[in-house]
A and B are shown apart, each in its own frame.
Chain A
Amino acid sequence: MWNRIYALFVARNTEFFRDRSALAWNVLLPVLIIIGFAYAFTDENPEKFKVALITSSQNSIANDRFKSTRFVKFIEVGEIDSSLRKIERHQVDLLFDANTLNYWVNQTSPNGYIVEKLLIAAFADSGQALRRNMLQGDAVRYIDWVIPGVIAMNMMWGALFGIGYVIVRYRKMGVLKRLRATPVTPVEFLTAQILSRLWLLLVLNVLIYAGMDYFVDFRMNGSYLDLFIVFTLGCICLICCGLVIAARISSEEVANGLLNLISWPMMFLSGIWFSLEGAHPWMQKLSLILPLTHVTDAAREIMIDGAGLTQIADHLLVLGGSSVVLLVIGAMIFRWE
């Protein structure tokens, strides 16, 4: 059995590496993601500091002096609440209300500390008293928050399309029919496909992670092994989704439609790009049945909060359980022709 699985595994890998256009796409997509992130999150502009400002109608020399500080970007805002969140996430270094002379800083932010000094210096001999407000808690940057999702998303595309498309193409071409005439069983065939795609995706994931880590500084508070386990389990689960879709279909167009039908909702409802806090309750419930939600959440808990496997056991359980169920369904409804 393992000999046969190995034969199919090798054949699929060979095909993958020799299909230059597909390989290029598989490698190019992550590279584009890395470049995109490097560009988006590497600060090239000279304005090193960001201050959210609630402007005052009265002119104040001290205020003008503060606003004339070079290399600080002043963003005029209308209200305090949304800006406080931005300070928490390190998107803004300081919030200053020129009317009440209140200011808010994040005490964990080095930038916040420096801008605070500038503000105090500007008001030093003005006779106006500033009121300092501290923001407590560990602030999370958007990049820290979004990276786990980006890795998971890349994995989702690779798993769904890499498995679904390939099997449907094999069936359409008659490759599966020829295999059926050999002692190869559906379970052996599917296992080989899963293993082949799994190791390729995990290697790609490690490369993407390393690439992003090189260009962008992001938070990793947990264990790399735990993270690897989460991505492996997530990968298997998403591959099994692809298997179920590809189990019977023999038209690439239909497969394409179905794969898109499940990948796009995952793109937006798994909380990759934005948190679903405050979203409609049905949307939050729906997101819980999507494997990508669990991959992303578990990865975030590890990377941001430094969670261990016991803290993310519920996610692992969902991923593992769905993998088994999907694999059994896939093997049961699988058709060679």
Chain B
Amino acid sequence: MLSKLLLPNSFSKADVKLAIMSLLGFLFYGLAGLGVIFLMKLLSYVAIGRDFASSHGISLTDSSRLGGLAITIVVGCYLFGILMLTPYVPGAMRSNQEFYLWLAIAACALLGLAEDLKADFLTPILRLTCKFLVFGSLLFFWPNLVPDKVGIPGLDQALQIPIVAWSVMTVFCVGFINAFNMADGANGLVPGIATAAFAVFFIEYGRPTEGFFLFACLIFLIFNVVSGWFFLGDMGSYGIGAVIVAYSLNGVVAGEFSIWLMASLLAYPCLDFLVSIIRRLKAGRSPFSADNDHLHNRLHRQLKRVVKSRVLSNSLTGLIISASSAGLTLFAFMDSWWLPNSPEWIILFTAEIMLYAVAFKLTTDESSATQFAEPL
């Protein structure tokens, strides 16, 4: 290693990438950021959770699916550290409701981890059933988590009926987690959205837990975008999806966030999920069949024609989409365009729907047939 440092001619592409990631991690979060980059590099060596190029969305290089595990380790280490060193008491230790909420999040993350460690260990239908059971039970025993008003005429009346409110919110939570998982198809896409979401939560609440998630997601975003060696995996997309849906529910119930702020922040996974289901049903396929006609696949096909580097075209795809959806909302939130609980965020959400529609239309490629696989 020392000889490599002393002899610049022997620098490989991987060394240069590691140096860039280390520099960025250090610039944002000092030596702590550098430590997390090293941790992620270490986990990318692990044989378990390897994802071969042939089995992943638009990535063309072998990589690791243990990004979710890396984020869990980082957040866990820092939480444990401040629990030992400061009088801070996290919400899960102060309130039973928060405890069971985090337990539900942990259950979702573990479902994903099982899949990351051994592909197809659990069938998709079993995973879906487990998520329904987890969130169904949580919202049944803790009805305070179910909003009774979201500011949408018709839905507000329906939410007054407890069984309807419970059903709608359970389906929404599970649907969102699946949407988050489905959107995880390009470097920096879901990590970028997650980073923007935790930045909004941290700016609003300023508690250590959100700060740690922001830290872990931002460093992961750097690692994912620069190297392309490391993906969130199912643990990351299920776990982070569950954390974000929990924060959104809590924020909307408490009147701290407007539902339209959350909708514009998380527009891409939700829109892409709905559009994908409609597309598949129109084509006479199962709504759960996997295919390569998401907006990120379409954009990537276009970018590949002008960008030679595989990793760069993949990362540009993810960054363009996350920056023009969640990134734009974060900018608007930081620039105080509207109050966090203002219904005026619907303007931004509408703009994002239009942007999605225009981008989808512009990236239509008649020469490329949609590839798909029916669910097991």
Q: Real complex partners, A and B?
A: no
Chain B residues within 8 Å of A, Cβ to Cβ: none
